[in-house]
Amino acid sequence: MAPSKAPAQPDQPAPRPNLQLQIQPFGPDQAALDAVAATVLRLPSVRQQLRDTRHRLLSMVLLDGDAGVKSDQPPQPPDRFRATVYDYTHNRALYIDGRMGSPNRARLTESGAQPLPSREEFGDAVAILARDPNLGPALREKRLTPYPPMPPLIQAVTPIGRAERTIAVGLWPTRGQQGHEIVGVNMVRQTVIRFENRAPATSMAGTSGCGLPNAGQSTVSSAAGQVWVTVKLGTTTLWRFLAVRPAASSGTNGSGVELRYLDYKGKRLLYRAHVPILNVKYVDTCGPYRDWQNEEGMLQATGSDVAPGFRLCSAPAKTILDTGSDSGNFLGTAIYVDGMEVVLVCEMEAGWYRYVSEWRLHADGTVRPRFGFTAVTSSCVCKVHHHHAYWRLDFDLRTPGNNLVREYNDPSILAPGVGGAGAAIVVPSNWHDKLFEIQRPRSPSMHRKWRVVNTATGEAYDVIPGPDDGVATASPDWPFPRGDVWIVRWKPGAELDDGSVAVGPPYEAGIDGFVNGESIKNQDIVMWYGAHFTHDVASEPPGSHGHVVGPTLKLVKW
């Protein structure tokens, strides 16, 4: 008897290939940084300056490897470093600058500036506070829980005009709500400063708080961590770029997860993309604050560690915005594949704020930069406040030069044209070129967007505003946000940020100073993109854990 035939099966679509990631560490690792830090602290010139002093190493960071020069040559690993030491005996900061290959030739300078405190220095302040006869017993008995508040430093100015280094320490009652207080710990005199209203002038310590529970986990604000990421689909290389973790990112206050040398299908799209400026303005009582983007917090990430501060995940990583939990199992930047997108995400902390820095790169060339906002328990965040994040997008479409920005409006606006006899006329047009440095409002009613074009080769990308990115002039704290979009000419080794430190004024974004009338036609273009979000706890929908903003960079021609 002949065997029966199996029933015919309908044709099945071929499975879609998955994105594949290759990740390669780049530059010195943490052990190399630690070794150089130990070397420079033993230098005779440094030992002489620090002899018989109380001091602490606050940070050891690698400085930008390109030094402001764009080159066709492959990027070299960063070699320059800066170690920052605070000398409490003489109330001064010491900066030690040198090269990894020759640390014995490092140069030392002193400054009256107040660098951001490290988490270890905050622990030193808590230890001093634990010895205080009034607050120490409650702290030692765990009736009060210390936390980093805003602002991180208190400007305790002496009669001669010098600020003595004073760390702010929040004290949250473990049980009940009575006893909440924010104090200052003078690290020079090792004394405690208490305030009449239980908090410094720009902060608040009420009997109630808003925000998610504070897990109090470890953070890191200066560390090694750069990787080359290659994204393939089958045999085709889609994306290749250098990713820098926030704790190693550039700028005065860091800049979140930073992408450099971003290529799509073998062509350059962005030379650098990051968020160097972040601030917040309150309606009353608290702030304003200039936040920092280099202090990494914990997130939930399952996978394998592929480089210092980078974890390749087998499933999407989860931040506080996803889970509503401040706790996590990984300190650094998570990388994973989500459908046809590659995602890089890191959770960051600045006092009681929690920020999420994220990049989503699609196989079709779309780039979605995202920035998320939420907070852990504190009194200030109960008050209405306004967050502002500013992306810096250094476009190098195909080449650094020959780039032009065009603006789209619908309905059309008037644009200059040329009459038949050569006389200037005005005609309506949806698109018009930006010829000189300029600031532009977002104008959702005009459906405004921007197109970056390489005029010599034709490559083009659109910058499309996100639906929740706000408009600066419509923000209740206007003119604090300053603007929405700035288009400026790239400056070698300059204008990576506005230079404002996170421990004092000015708090507003200083991007307007970059607009000085220079030609941007067929030049190397930088676009600053600001997004604005009002946080009102009382009007949040149930189950909300925060808010996300960001534009979309969409491929037009490649």
User: Mean pLDDT throughout 293-316?
Assistant: 97
Q: Say what the pLDDT of residue 414 is.
A: 74
Report pLDDT digits (tens) over 373-431.
Answer: 999 999 999 999 999 999 999 999 999 999 999 999 999 987 655 444 555 556 678 99
Q: Is residue 274 part of a domain?
A: no
110/136 same-domain check: no
Q: Say what the pLDDT of residue 210 is.
A: 93
Go through 158-195 and write b for each residue having 16 or more CB atoms within 10 A of its CB, e for each that does not: eeeeebbbbbbbbbbeeeeeebbbbbbbbbbebebeee
Integer CA distances (angstroms), 286 to 99, 414, 493, in order: 41, 44, 35
109/172 same-domain check: no
Q: Are 275 and 259 in contact (CB under 8 A)?
A: no
Q: Is residue 65 part of a domain?
A: yes
> Average pLDDT over the chain, rounded to whole?
93
Q: Are 168 and 184 in contact (CB under 8 A)?
A: yes
Q: Which residues contact 97 (CB under 8 A, 6 or more apart)?
A: 63, 80, 81, 82, 106, 107, 108, 109
Peptide bond into 479 cis (omega under 30): yes
Checking 29-37 for CB contacts under 8 A at 24+ apart, the result is 29/224, 29/308, 30/223, 30/224, 30/308, 32/100, 32/224, 33/60, 33/62, 33/81, 33/223, 33/224, 34/60, 36/60, 36/81, 36/83, 36/98, 36/100, 36/103, 37/83
Domain boundary among 156, 175, 193: 193
Report pLDDT digits (tens) over 378-388.
Answer: 999 999 999 99
CA distance 136 to 130: 4
31/110 same-domain check: yes
Domain boundary among 115, 133, 149: 115
Give the tokens for residue 468: 């929740």
Unique residue bearing structure tokens 């002193």? 110
Q: Is residue 130 part of a domain?
A: yes
Report pLDDT digits (tens) over 173-207.
Answer: 998 767 899 999 999 999 999 999 999 999 999 98
> 260: pLDDT confidence band, cut at 50, 70 and 90?
very high
52/109 same-domain check: yes
> 3: pLDDT confidence band, cut at 50, 70 and 90?
very low
Q: Is residue 415 part of a domain?
A: no
User: Mean pLDDT throughout 289-306?
Assistant: 97
User: Mean pLDDT throughout 463-490?
Assistant: 97
Peptide bond into 146 cis (omega under 30): no
Coil, strand or helix at 379:
coil
CA 493 to chain centre: 19
Q: Which range of residues forms the domain containing residue 90?
A: 23-115
124/66 same-domain check: no
CATH of the domain at 90: 3.10.450.40
Q: How many helices (H) and strands (E) does the chain have?
A: 5, 34
CA distance 142 to 181: 15
Q: Is residue 523 part of a domain?
A: no
> 2: pLDDT confidence band, cut at 50, 70 and 90?
very low
Q: Is residue 356 part of a domain?
A: no
How many domains does the chain fold into?
2
Give φ, ψ of 188 to 5 degrees.
-80, -50
User: Mean pLDDT throughout 489-503?
Assistant: 93
Report pLDDT digits (tens) over 430-463.
Answer: 999 999 999 999 999 999 999 999 999 999 999 9
Q: Say what the pLDDT of residue 1 is.
A: 41
User: Mean pLDDT throughout 476-488?
Assistant: 97
Report pLDDT digits (tens) over 33-55.
Answer: 999 999 999 999 999 999 999 99
Report pLDDT digits (tens) over 121-151.
Answer: 999 999 999 999 999 999 999 999 999 999 9
Q: Is residue 537 part of a domain?
A: no
Q: Say what the pLDDT of residue 537 is.
A: 85
Integer CA distances (angstroms), 484 to 273, 372, 377, 441, in order: 17, 18, 30, 5
Q: Say what the pLDDT of residue 292 is.
A: 98
pTM of the model: 0.94
Task: With a cut of 50, say whether residue 61 has pLDDT above it.
Answer: yes
Domain boundary among 193, 217, 246: 193
61/99 same-domain check: yes
Task: With a cut of 90, say whether residue 64 has pLDDT above it.
Answer: no
Closest CA to 267 of 307, 240, 305: 240
Task: With a cut of 80, say whether residue 10 has pLDDT above it.
Answer: no
108/149 same-domain check: no
> 102: pLDDT confidence band, cut at 50, 70 and 90?
very high
Give the tokens for residue 427: 């005609």
Q: Is residue 145 part of a domain?
A: yes
Task: With a cut of 80, say whether residue 230 has pLDDT above it.
Answer: yes
